[in-house]
Homo-oligomer: A and B are copies of this chain.
């Protein structure tokens, strides 16, 4: 199957402009063109875009995604390096999750404080001062 840029945008969740942008910066190999010169994205293109958006979601900078994309073009010889990039990204995602979990705990604590205050609107109890911190 092949897809117009509008359809590719819809399926990938990226904007049309972003698709052209990704192509310009070589994140995406130039897709095929139809007889009128319009882009015709393949299923492979869409799969790659899907993976790219996952990498983006993990916070991988475009620079690194470009490196990965460029390695991919150099075939099997680059597999070790590509794997290393993914392993490093996995590490950073796990770290980020832990960090966010810590923030979640702090948010819960703060929210509980607000709830304590709601229950004792009269009189200042220990914990009240937290509300202003």
Using CB atoms and an 8 Å cutoff, list the residues of chain A in contact with chain B.
44, 47-48, 51, 54-55, 57-58, 72, 75-76, 79, 82-83, 86-87, 89-90, 93-94, 96-97, 99-101, 103-104, 106-108, 110-111, 114-115, 117-118, 131-133
In the complex where A44-B133, A76-B131, A131-B76 touch, is A104 in contact with B93 (Cβ < 8 A)? Answer: yes
Main secondary structure of the interface of A (DSSP, over half): helix
Let me know if B86 and A114 touch, CB within 8 A: yes
Could you tell me the distance in whole angstroms from the C-beta of A43 to the nearest C-beta in chain B? Answer: 10
| Copies per complex of this chain | 2
| Cα–Cα, bound, A100→B108 (Å) | 20
Let me know if B87 and A96 touch, CB within 8 A: no
